[in-house]
C-alpha cells in the first residue's frame, strides 16, 4: 500500500492533537528547528563548492579545532531558535556556557541543547555527519526569567523531544516525542521532510558491533573479553559479528537503529569517561534508541537516569539492541557463562 504523503509539519500537528492541553508552542519549536536543519543540509551538501570545508583556526572549549561548518551550523540553529519565544535557554557543544535568549525577545518554557555538527573530523572526507538535539521543559514553568544551568542539567529521561538529522546518502530527520520513533527523508525538489519510516523499531539483537577497536589495549579486560566473544564463531552461526565504524556517532547509531547490534564508545585508561558528551550527544541518541525498543547504558545502568553535573560532561556509552546491551553489561559484571569458564 502506498505510504501516505505526510510532511513533518503535518505529522507534528497530528501528534499534537493527542495532547489536548498542547498550546502549539512545541510544534512551533520543531517548525523553527526543521528550518535550521534544511539550511544546514543545504550548506553541508555544497560545502566542497563554497569553501566551507576546512578549519576556522579557532579552538573550541574542548581544545578541538572548530570547522567552518561547525560554526555555521551553530549560528544557523541559534538564529532560527532565539526569537521564536519558545525557549528560555540553550546549550551547544560549540559554546562554553549557557546561551541566553536576547533580552529583546520573549522567552518560553522550553530548553534546547544541541550538537550542531557531530562528526566534524569527517567533514573534509565527505563522510556522513549529523546534527543532534534535545528539548526539555524548564524546571519552573511559572517563571519568565532567563533559563538557568539547572534547566540545562536535567537527566535524559526528562526529554520531551529528542532527535537528530543525518546528512548521508540522503538527509533524514529522526525524532521522538515519547510516542515512538519516526524517520523523515528530505526531498530537496520540494524542500520538505516526508515521513518515510514511521514507528521504527530496533531489532532485539543484531550481528554488528561498532567501536573504535584501535583503543582495544586501553580497555578494561572484561570489555576486551566481550569484543573477543563477538569475534569468536559460534555453533549457532550468530557469531562472529561484523565490525562497522563510521566515526560519526549519529551515523553509527542510525545504522544500529535500523540493522540492530551495538554501538560503543567506552571509557579507557586514558579517558575513563570516554569521549561522547552526555547532554547533547548521548542523551538524545539514547532517547531515540530506547523509544525504538533498544537500550542505552554507561556499562552498568541506563544513561537516561544519570544526573548531569556539567554541560560538557562525558560518559561511556553502549547503546543498541536490548539483548546485545544486556549481554555487554553481563560481561562487564564478569557474569557471562563464557567468563566463568576463563576465570
Among 7, 55, 185, 212, binds ligand P6P (CB under 6 A): 212
313: Cβ–Cβ under 8 A, 6 or more apart, which residues? 273, 277, 278, 279
Among 84, 119, 261, 299, binds ligand P6P (CB under 6 A): 119
Cell numbers found for residue 46 = 555544497
Q: Which stretch in 53-61, 112-120, 134-142, 254-262 sits in contact with ligand P6P by CB under 6 A?
A: 112-120
Binding status of residue 120 toward ligand P6P by CB under 6 A: yes
DSSP code at position 223: H
Q: Minimum Å distance from CB 218 to ligand P6P?
A: 11
Q: Identify residues 84-103 at the interface with ligand P6P (CB under 6 A).
A: none
Binding status of residue 168 toward ligand P6P by CB under 6 A: no
Among 148, 247, 293, 302, binds ligand P6P (CB under 6 A): 247
Binding status of residue 275 toward ligand P6P by CB under 6 A: yes
Query: Distance of CA 193 to CAs 11, 47, 173, 181, 254, Å?
Result: 10, 21, 7, 15, 17
Binding status of residue 118 toward ligand P6P by CB under 6 A: yes
Among 121, 145, 326, 338, binds ligand P6P (CB under 6 A): 121
**d(Cα 142, Cα 84) in Å, to the nearest integer?**
18
**In terms of CB distance, is 69 or 89 closer to ligand P6P?**
69
**In terms of CB distance, is 107 or 275 closer to ligand P6P?**
275
Q: Which stretch in 26-34, 117-125, 186-194, 330-338 sits in contact with ligand P6P by CB under 6 A?
A: 117-125
Q: Minimum Å distance from CB 246 to ligand P6P?
A: 8
DSSP code at position 45: H
* 57 SS3 class: strand
Q: Which stretch in 16-24, 116-124, 229-237, 312-320 sits in contact with ligand P6P by CB under 6 A?
A: 116-124
Phi, psi (degrees; rounded to nearest 5) at 47: -50, -40
**In terms of CB distance, is 77 or 166 closer to ligand P6P?**
166
Q: Which residues of 33-70 are buried (b: 16+ CB within 10 A; e: fewer)?
A: bbebbbbbbebbeebeeeebeebeeeebeeeeebbbbb
**In terms of CB distance, is 119 or 147 closer to ligand P6P?**
119
Q: Minimum Å distance from CB 123 to ligand P6P?
A: 10
Q: Identify residues 322-341 at the interface with ligand P6P (CB under 6 A).
A: none
Q: Which residues of 124-143 are buried (b: 16+ CB within 10 A; e: fewer)?
A: eeeebbbbbbbbbbbbeeee
**d(Cα 88, Cα 153) in Å, to the nearest integer?**
14
* Residues facing 131 on adjacent strands: 165
Cell numbers found for residue 268 = 579507557
Pairing of strands 129-137, 161-167: antiparallel
**In terms of CB distance, is 94 or 118 closer to ligand P6P?**
118
**In terms of CB distance, is 87 or 117 closer to ligand P6P?**
117
Contact set with ligand P6P (CB under 6 A): 118-121, 212, 247-249, 265, 275
Amino acid at each position: 500500500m502506498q505510504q501516505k504523503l505526510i510532511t513533518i509539519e503535518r505529522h507534528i500537528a497530528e501528534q499534537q492533537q493527542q495532547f489536548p492541553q498542547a498550546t502549539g508552542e512545541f510544534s512551533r519549536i520543531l517548525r523553527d528547528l526543521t528550518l535550521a536543519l534544511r539550511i544546514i543540509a543545504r550548506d553541508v551538501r555544497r560545502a566542497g563548492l563554497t569553501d566551507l570545508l576546512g578549519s576556522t583556526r579557532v579552538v573550541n572549549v574542548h581544545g578541538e579545532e572548530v570547522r567552518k561548518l561547525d560554526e555555521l551550523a551553530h549560528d544557523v540553529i541559534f538564529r532560527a531558535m532565539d526569537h521564536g519565544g519558545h525557549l528560555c535557554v540553550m546549550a551547544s557543544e560549540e559554546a562554553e556556557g549557557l546561551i541566553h535568549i536576547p533580552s529583546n525577545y520573549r522567552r518560553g518554557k522550553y530548553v534546547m541543547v544541541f550538537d550542531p555538527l557531530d562528526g566534524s573530523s569527517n567533514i573534509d572526507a565527505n563522510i556522513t555527519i549529523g546534527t543532534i538535539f534535545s528539548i526539555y521543559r524548564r524546571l519552573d514553568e511559572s517563571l519568565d526569567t532567563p533559563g538557568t544551568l539547572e534547566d540545562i542539567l536535567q537527566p535524559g529521561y526528562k526529554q520531551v523531544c529528542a532527535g537528530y538529522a543525518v546528512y548521508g546518502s540522503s538527509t533524514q530527520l529522526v525524532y521522538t516525542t515519547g510516542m515512538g520513533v519516526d524517520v523523515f527523508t528530505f526531498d530537496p525538489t520540494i524542500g520538505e521532510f516526508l515521513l518515510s519510516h514511521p514507528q521504527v523499531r530496533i531489532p532485539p539483537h543484531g550481528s554488528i558491533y561498532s567501536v573504535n577497536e584501535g583503543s582495544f589495549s586501553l580497555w578494561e579486560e572484561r570489555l576486551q573479553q566481550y569484543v573477543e566473544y563477538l569475534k569468536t564463531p559460534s555453533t549457532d552461526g550468530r557469531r562472529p559479528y561484523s565490525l562497522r565504524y563510521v566515526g560519526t556517532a549519529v551515523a553509527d547509531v542510525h545504522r544500529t537503529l535500523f540493522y540492530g547490534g551495538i554501538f560503543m564508545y567506552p571509557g579507557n585508561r586514558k579517558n575513563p569517561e570516554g569521549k561522547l558528551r552526555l547532554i547533547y550527544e548521548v542523551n538524545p541518541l539514547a532517547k531515540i534508541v530506547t523509544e525504538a525498543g533498544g537500550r542505552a547504558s554507561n556499562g552498568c545502568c541506563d544513561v537516561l537516569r544519570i544526573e548531569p553535573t556539567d554541560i560538557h560532561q562525558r560518559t561511556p556509552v553502549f547503546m543498541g539492541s536490548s539483548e546485545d546491551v544486556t549481554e555487554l553489561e553481563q560481561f562487564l559484571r564478569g557474569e557471562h557463562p563464557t567468563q566463568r569458564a576463563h576465570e
